[in-house]
Amino acid sequence: MDIWVIAATNVDLKKAMEAGHFREDLFYRLAVVVIKLPALRERENDVCMLAQAFLRKFGAENGKEGLSFEPEALRALVKHA
C-alpha cells in the first residue's frame, strides 16, 4: 500500500515524546516531512486576507456582495491574540 498521512498538532511532540506522552516510533514515522507554521497571530497579513476572503464568501452566499471591513475592524482583528 502507498499511504500518506498528514497530521497537525499544537503540541511540541519532541517534548511529549521525551516526557513519555507520545510514542517515539510514531513520532519518527510521522516526522518524515515537518512543516512548521507560525501561529496566525504572528502573521498579520494573513489575518486580514483571511477575514476579507471569508467576508466575500459568506457575503456572496447570503446575497450581500460588496461588503468590506472598516480599517478599525481590521486593526482589531490583527491585534487580537
Whether the Cβ atoms of residue 47 and residue 59 lie closer than 8 Å to each other: no
Whole-number pLDDT of residue 33: 84
The residue-averaged pLDDT of 23-34 equals 88
Q: Is this structure's pTM higher than 0.85?
A: no
Q: What 3-state DSSP class applies to 81?
A: coil
> In this prediction, what percent of the chain has a pLDDT beyond 70?
100
Confidence bin at 64 (pLDDT 50/70/90):
very high
Question: 23 vs 35, which has greater pLDDT?
Answer: 23
Whole-number pLDDT of residue 46: 94
Q: How many CA atoms lie within 13 A of 68 on its CB side?
A: 4
**Contacts of residue 7, Cβ cutoff 8 Å, sequence gap at least 6:** 30
Q: CA 65 to CA 71: how far, in whole Å?
A: 18
Counts for the chain of helices (H) and strands (E), in that order = 4, 0
Question: 10 vs 61, which has greater pLDDT?
Answer: 61
